[in-house]
Structure 1
């Protein structure tokens, strides 16, 4: 198949084949699985480290845990960008411009951590 519409026909055939494989896999699963008897008592109960669950399933989460997670992701991404920079920095032709770019990047991150520190976001209690 060539031409403008040929690429769409190829894409359509690929989507059709993937849908058939998907439906075939789920159909085979339904036909080949063992019949499930009624669940034994307590099978679908919540499991808390081997202890019987206490209380209701509603629990409030404090926003500060999400802030810690966000800060962790932020600085983990920063580390991901620092390692390739260290590898490229050693190559010829990446002198002062590379140092200036990474200095700006680290300065922006330092401003962010300084802001978090000044607002007492980093205090656990």
Structure 2
């Protein structure tokens, strides 16, 4: 798990009410029954990283954005690469939907989980309404 690798923490899902809720919400998302996440988050990062992550969380389900447009959205149009770096440091992909970022040409670009997984997540979201 990415969190464990980044923090060297060891925790057990199910022993923490927030992690239990997150697990439930992720299962609902994967089943096409959830379009947003309500679990409380305490994301650790720089002020800029948190700004980028919050902008990503504000993107509607199924929406996609380029790195350039995301830089503009966070009022840092010159910081396209920094937006990419913040995206790469995202500790909770899917919940902070970094899979929704595309290259400026509209093509799928880097994703920590792999391009195939990114394509699958975008396909899941493009199916439209929840079941």
Q: TM-score range by the shorter chain?
A: under 0.3
Larger RCO (alpha carbons 8 Å, 6+ apart): 2
Report the TM-score when normalising by structure 1.
0.21
* TM superposition score normalised by structure 2: 0.20
